[in-house]
Chains A and B, each alone.
Chain A
Amino acid sequence: MKTRTLLLVVFALVFSVAVHAQDDVFRVAAVAPSATNDLAFSQSMFDALTMIDEEMGDAFEFTFTEGVFVVDDAAVALRDWAASGEYDLIIAHGSQYGAILEELAPEFPEVSFAWGTDVNTFGLENVYAYTAAAEEGGFINGVLAASISQSGILGVVGPIEVGDAKAYIDGFQAGAAYANPDVEVLVTYIQSFSDVPLATEAAAAHVANGADVLTGSAQMVVGPIAVAQENEIPWFGTQSSQAELAAESGVAFQVYRWDVILRDMIANIQGGVLGGEAFVLTLENGGLEIQVSESLDEESASIITDAIATLTEGIVSGEVVVFPEDPMATPEAGS
């Protein structure tokens, strides 16, 4: 009797593990440094996973751990996920996680990892890297900003001078100069991704110095957006749509569509390729999307939309070069 019970238990365990391993559900776990509603970097990935979840239905599940800026804390989560064997893809969404991923991935060769923003897979067959050619949308926003500026002075608030934030701001400056070589772009990096009060005063300083258009990157831009709203001056955003917060001042937002590359990753993993490739969001592959604010009047929206279409076409075709003096300047380290 005891033997029969034992056999039943063993059978049940083996059966449940086998079913779990062979089911058709694609499971993803992701960790990100800020909140999923940050209107910026982390939200862009959360939105992409949500979109894929809606597309794939029961065949897809994901878990998202937000607000893990401390790398050591993220390392614990990543290791637990990898060791559990439950996930087909583990995403470390933040360039600060690169070092721990490089250490962790070789220990779990059967698990696929992805991280960004960066293009370095560390030569590992189970690591994907991803980044965004943020300079492309930055260039378009820069052209538009310079075109609508009356003072010829544009204000930019950045976090730390690395990754896609730097790429966006460099592109913005290039675009502004492309539209108007005399335009002045005031740039302040506040050395923080989260210091809203400081970012707010940085934007206020730009406005006091004559800027009549503002932009910025990272999650602390909620402050500069408030400054734009208060001073009734145009705001250009990046990473996610900030249309709701910048309801009256928003003009255009570069939105990261990580879902474009996630689909490729999922297809690769399902085909047995666990990594070894770097993906880049671009205007050409649809990973970068420039959204026009719905608050604009019909005529303005039409002009802006046409300009975005023309510039996008120019960048995709190569007729418009974002960095003519340094065409290889693409982001290498992430945000």
Chain B
Amino acid sequence: MIEEIFTASVFASTLRLATPYIFAAVGETFSQKSGVLNLGLEGVMLMGAFAAFYAVHATGSVIIGLLAALIVGALMGLATAFVSVTLQAEQGISGIGIYLFGLGMSELLFVRLIGTPVSVEGFSRIYIPVLSDIPVIGEIFFNHNLLVYAAFLLVPAAAFVLNRTTFGLMIRAVGQNPEAADAMGVNVARVRYMTVTIAGTLAGLAGASLSIALLNVFQQNLTSGLGFIAVALVYFGRWTPLGVLLGSLLFSFVNALQLQIGSIGIEIPSEFAVMAPYVITIIALVFASKRAEKPTALTKPFRRGD
């Protein structure tokens, strides 16, 4: 029975399911570390997913699709930064606005430019000689498309930037004590603009990972709440890329597991099985939050002289 449940395909599925969460949540970590909560991730992901899909549909090039998602994500990030940093709008409300804009605009563009769901030739799986042929290990780790690998490589890169570079130090300073950072000569607004744009760019990439790598289709509301879960995973991960990775893997693993349990016909009510990833995440979140090192200035606009 255990062998039937914990198969290589379950772990491979875990990595695939985790990919968009990692992109989006690591990006959101940058944003929140600097003090800006971006609840609009879901909308940015939708716009990124559509931009990538449309570009691939029009040109046949996944590279152009990827660039389109990155550009659209960055622009959405800039728009979010303008509202949150320059206009100093309430971040929760403005984030919902960005989400609704992304939801509606991606749907409108899809209906006008594509019309009906069609598939595209997205990123194909990469065969790695020798490694892909290793039994079990090869299926789990070395049978994925480029964006899956990119997501996992992003984690140490993000951790390095946040913890080992001057830019990372500025981000943390701006998120913990913007007044002190400002007094030390750090341009708080510029740092926040950069982090929110990074978050937007990675959210666009998260959307692209769905529409031109994992699913190769686009449909209205394709992300289906995934962006909001990514925001929760940042809290779960205690504002660290490694924590975000662990949270994404846990959530995705439980999801993959419930799908496997359903597939092999183990008699568990499907409602309970589907609920399981959320319940486990909430429980983990409760324990994680108690020890969390939340950025002190999170959601607080910075006004020089306040």
Contacts and interface: CB of A to CB of B under 8 A. Distances in A.
Interface of A: 34-35, 37-39, 67, 155, 161, 186-192, 194-198, 200-202, 204-206, 208-209, 219-220, 222-223, 225-226, 229-230, 244-245
Given A188-B270, A204-B13, A208-B9, A198 B259 contact: yes
Given A194-B221, A196-B224, A208-B7, A226 B270 contact: no
B217 A35 contact: no
A189 B270 contact: yes
User: A186, A192, A200, A205: which has the most chain B beta carbons within 10 Å?
Assistant: A205
B224 A67 contact: no
30 contacts: A34-B220, A35-B111, A35-B219, A37-B111, A38-B219, A39-B116, A39-B117, A67-B221, A186-B265, A187-B262, A188-B270, A189-B262, A190-B259, A190-B270, A191-B270, A191-B275, A192-B274, A194-B224, A195-B224, A196-B210, A196-B217, A197-B20, A201-B259, A205-B10, A222-B215, A225-B119, A225-B217, A226-B119, A226-B217, A245-B117
Contacts of A226: 119, 215-217
Nearest to B7: A208
B103 to A, nearest CB: 9
A205 B116 contact: no
Contact of A245 (B217, B220, B222, B274): B217
A226 B221 CA distance: 17
Given A196-B210, A197-B215, 5 more contacts: A35-B107, A161-B270, A186-B263, A194-B221, A200-B214
B270 A201 contact: no
A241 B167 CA distance: 53
Contacts of A190: 259, 270, 274
A192 B225 CA distance: 11
B256 A245 contact: no
B115 A37 contact: yes
B271 interface: yes
A69 to B, nearest CB: 9
Contact of B263 (A155, A191, A197, A229): A155
Interface in B93-150: 107, 111, 115-119
Range of interface residues on chain B? Answer: 35 or more
A187 B269 CA distance: 12
Contact of A202 (B16, B226, B259): B259
A186 B265 CA distance: 7
B252 to A, nearest CB: 9
A124 to B, nearest CB: 31
B183 interface: no
B124 to A, nearest CB: 9
B177 interface: no
A222 B116 contact: no
A44 to B, nearest CB: 13
B25 to A, nearest CB: 15
Contact of A196 (B7, B115, B222, B256): B222
B270 A186 contact: no
Nearest to B257: A205
Nearest to A39: B117
Interface string B240-270: 0000000000000001100110111100001
A205 B217 contact: no
Nearest to A161: B270
Contacts of A244: 116, 118
Contacts of A197: 17, 20, 210, 214-215, 223-224, 226
Given A186-B264, A208-B7, A209-B264, A222 B256 contact: no
Given A201-B256, A205-B256, A244-B116, A67 B13 contact: no
A208 B20 CA distance: 22
Contacts of A200: 214-215
Contacts of A204: 9, 13, 16
Contact of A205 (B9, B20, B119): B9
A56 to B, nearest CB: 24
Interface in B58-116: 107, 111, 115-116
A222 B264 contact: no
A244 B7 CA distance: 34
A200 to B, nearest CB: 6
A186 B217 CA distance: 24
Nearest to A43: B116
Nearest to A223: B215
A39 B118 CA distance: 10
A34 B117 CA distance: 13
The 7 closest A-B CB pairs, nearest first, are A208-B9, A188-B262, A191-B274, A189-B270, A205-B263, A37-B116, A195-B224
